[in-house]
């Protein structure tokens, strides 16, 4: 796309090619061995950070009195169950590809721009793969791996400390397509279940971080107006996959539950060093 837009201007074309290939972003101050060691240190730091948060959350749950947990609302699921996911149609995949932005990841085998430009040819293949995944209840292992790029939180921070970076995960484009198609099929069922929390904002139509903050502030102001105290707990979703799935295991998912379970169990990552950060 960008190369074609340069027309007959060869100087501009080479500039675009250099940007796309990141040929000028290489840091020559380290050897390949040192770069591999740096990437490994980032990977170990991010994994240990999540493990510590997870253990802290699990420790809090273990110390919580059982009688307190038993008082929490846990309504039974009423309504139909899902024995299988509806078949994905060729038209549905074609429309989804047509609406998708041309963002590529280093995990993509086929460039996203090429896949979208030839969406009529790829739609049939993608439709078959998605239906096969839904039918077998399996999420391809290749699509579970994310490329993690560390980004410095602030230019003034020490770039030698992993704690000064935030990690950005990039998945395979096909993984995102499969996820969207699955969400379109399972979301209406979850929203209709009485077990679904009415205060849920993430992955819910018409809701976002903004609506969650508005609702939170409204509750705090309302409590203050009535002379009540307010205690706020902030929870981070870093629990084990079993704990994340268990609350929804009784919402009538049945075999449809196999796909998200197999996605959460076995996910992996590769640490990628963005050399532009260390110049």
Do residue 117 and residue 232 come from a single domain?
yes
Neighbours of 166 (CB within 10 A): 10
Do residue 11 and residue 128 come from a single domain?
no
Residue 243 pLDDT: 46
Do residue 11 and residue 61 come from a single domain?
no
Do residue 268 and residue 179 come from a single domain?
yes
Q: Which domain holds residue 156?
A: 33-278
Nearest to 178 by CA among 228, 246, 129: 129
Residue 28 pLDDT: 59
Do residue 190 and residue 270 come from a single domain?
yes
Do residue 207 and residue 261 come from a single domain?
yes
Do residue 156 and residue 171 come from a single domain?
yes
Do residue 261 and residue 141 come from a single domain?
yes
Percentage of residues in the chain with pLDDT exceeding 90?
A: 9
Contacts of 264 (CB under 8 A, 6+ apart): 241, 244, 245
Element (H, E) at 167: strand 165-170
Do residue 185 and residue 98 come from a single domain?
yes
Question: How many structural domains comprise the chain?
Answer: 2
Residue 38 pLDDT: 78
Structure tokens at 24: 């000028």
Residue 37 pLDDT: 81
Q: Which residues of the chain have pLDDT under 50?
A: 238-255, 273-279
Do residue 26 and residue 44 come from a single domain?
no
- What is the rounded CA–CA span in Å between residue 127 and residue 134? 11
- What is the rounded CA–CA span in Å between residue 77 and residue 91? 33
Nearest to 256 by CA among 160, 113, 114, 134: 134
Structure tokens at 158: 């020490």
Residue 1 pLDDT: 61
Q: Is 30 exposed, middle or buried (0-12, 13-18, 19+ CB in 10 A)?
A: middle
- Its pTM stands at 0.65
Do residue 61 and residue 91 come from a single domain?
yes
């Amino acid at each position: 796309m960008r190369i074609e837009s340069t027309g007959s201007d060869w100087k501009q074309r080479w500039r675009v090619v250099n940007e796309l290939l990141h040929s000028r972003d290489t840091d020559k101050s380290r050897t390949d061995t040192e770069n591999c060691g740096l990437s490994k240190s980032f990977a170990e730091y991010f994994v240990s950070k999540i493990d510590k948060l997870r253990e802290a959350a699990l420790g809090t749950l273990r110390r919580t009195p059982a009688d307190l947990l038993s008082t929490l609302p846990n309504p039974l699921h009423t309504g139909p169950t899902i024995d299988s996911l509806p078949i994905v149609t060729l038209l549905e995949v074609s429309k989804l590809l047509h609406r998708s932005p041309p963002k590529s990841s280093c995990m993509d085998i086929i460039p996203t721009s090429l896949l979208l430009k030839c969406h009529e040819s790829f739609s049939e293949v993608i439709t078959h793969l998605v239906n096969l995944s839904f039918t077998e209840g399996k999420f391809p292992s290749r699509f579970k791996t994310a490329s993690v790029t560390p980004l410095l939180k602030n230019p003034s921070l020490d770039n030698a400390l992993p704690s000064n970076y935030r990690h950005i995960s990039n998945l395979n484009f096909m993984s995102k397509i499969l996820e969207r198609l699955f969400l379109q099929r399972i979301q209406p069922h979850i929203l209709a279940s009485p077990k679904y929390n009415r205060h849920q904002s993430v992955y819910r139509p018409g809701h976002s971080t903004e609506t969650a903050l508005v609702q939170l502030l409204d509750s705090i102001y309302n409590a203050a107006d009535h002379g009540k105290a307010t205690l706020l707990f902030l929870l981070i979703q870093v629990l084990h996959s079993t704990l994340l799935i268990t609350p929804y295991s009784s919402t009538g998912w049945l075999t449809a539950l196999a796909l998200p379970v197999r996605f959460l169990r076995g996910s992996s990552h590769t640490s990628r060093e963005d050399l532009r950060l260390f110049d």
